Amino acid sequence: MTTAAALAHLNRRRLFPPAAWTALAIAVLVMAALPALNLFFPAGQALHVSDYTITVCGRFMCYAMAALALDLAWGYTGILSLGHGLFFALGGYAQGMYLMRAIGRDGSYHSNLPDFMVFLNWKSYPWYWAFTDHFLYAMLLVVLVPGVLAFVFGYFAFRSRIKGVYFSIITQALTYAAMLLFFRNETGFGGNNGFTDFKRILGFDITQPATRAALFWITLIMLVLALIVARLVTQSKLGRVLTGVRDAENRLRFLGYEPLGFKLFVWTLSAVMCGIAGALYVPQIGIINPSEMSTSNSIEMVIWVATGGRGTLIGPIIGAGVINGLKLWFTSAFPDYWLYALGLVFVLATLFLPQGIVGLVRQAGARIGHRGAGSKGVDDKRVGDKNIVGKDLRGNSMNEEGMSAEGLRAEGMGGAQ
């Protein structure tokens, strides 16, 4: 094996390049330091970080995990979902059920039942609340409820070969139907008020700075783990098949691959990741209600991914932070115009940033590298004067017309003969 081939093989197996690992480590250390600054430096000192900042950053990380989950489905497999807000909310409700049980008799009515059940004259918990006072069982629900729903829904949708805009509309309808269901008081989920007024988690006071710092660090760890899992999936042979599903599903089926199993896997994994993000969101924000299932929330997730860079993993994380930071400022300065601003951002990103923020950064880096290389540098690798833009399922480079590098060379040899 030549040196160039060995380096290429190493790059294919490497999870992240060294520069990316360094940037990730720096970002994690900076974020991890925020709760420490909140705990160890009292208010009024220059290094103190406020409780509000900790809550906002924790919320943004949950949104980033949800955007990462959507990017797996949409960016790498071409499954555009307008219903990921449902999975996010279901994970939050599963966590919220445990937190409501943990209140005990400290509610306004001093009953073993949550206040909303006492107010509605309920005498006992519904059957589906059984065992939710156990933390591990509640965490199992966080994974199973979104996962099972996504698996069942995805199986029938993908088996029927529903895709594109039709699939998106169905996911939006499913989310809207679930929101209407959860708004009803008789469902046992608190109606339009949802779950709130949490007191403790695992016996710790949920309002204490130390508890909130622990939740922040757990969220940060889960976000990094989600990024690594997503990277492992997309860098594997499975990831190549997923991009094949996205780019040429019929051709993939012709080659002998059945897309149903691959689409179902990534769709279910994406839903589970989104449910975990919702479970981490609820104890930090202190409330979960049916508005989290609104179709506008799911559409915002799509905008996070598109703005950051679809099919890049890190892009959706950046997009979630940028869009929600903009929302935080805009809703306080110009609250009546946020939706107009959000629509404008989406239109501008679609027109001028088709590859998102990450694509813009990559283009800038490529220009700088091209200038530094001078006459020795080239923008695109070429075989027979045709641009190489991707790889086929066997790992061979492919051009825009779907022809592999080997095929191009053969074509060139045939022409020479």
pLDDT at 402 over 90: no
Kindly state the average pLDDT of the residues 341-345: 92
Rounded Cα gap, residues 309 and 316, in angstroms:
6
Split at pLDDT 50, 70, 90, the class of 136 is very high
Q: Which of 312, 303, 304 has the alpha carbon at shortest distance from 358? A: 312
**Model confidence over 376-390: pLDDT tens digits?**
544 444 444 444 444
The domains of the chain are located at 25-371, 380-416
**Model confidence over 194-212: pLDDT tens digits?**
999 999 999 999 999 999 9
Q: What's the start-to-end Cα distance of the chain, in Å?
A: 30
Q: Who's near 270: CB < 8 A, 6+ residues apart? A: 69, 70, 72, 73, 81, 84, 87, 150
- DSSP string for 81-142: -S-HHHHHHHHHHHHHHHHHHHTTT-STT--SS-HHHHHTT--S--GGGTTTTSHHHHHHHH
- Residue 387 phi/psi, 5-degree rounding, is -65, 140
- Range with the poorest average pLDDT among 7-16, 84-93, 257-266, 358-367: 7-16
Which residues, in sequence order, are bridge partners of residue 201?
A: 204
pLDDT at 213 over 70: yes
**Model confidence over 277-318: pLDDT tens digits?**
999 999 999 999 999 999 999 999 999 999 999 999 999 999
Rounded Cα gap, residues 127 and 129, in angstroms:
5
pLDDT at 105 over 50: yes
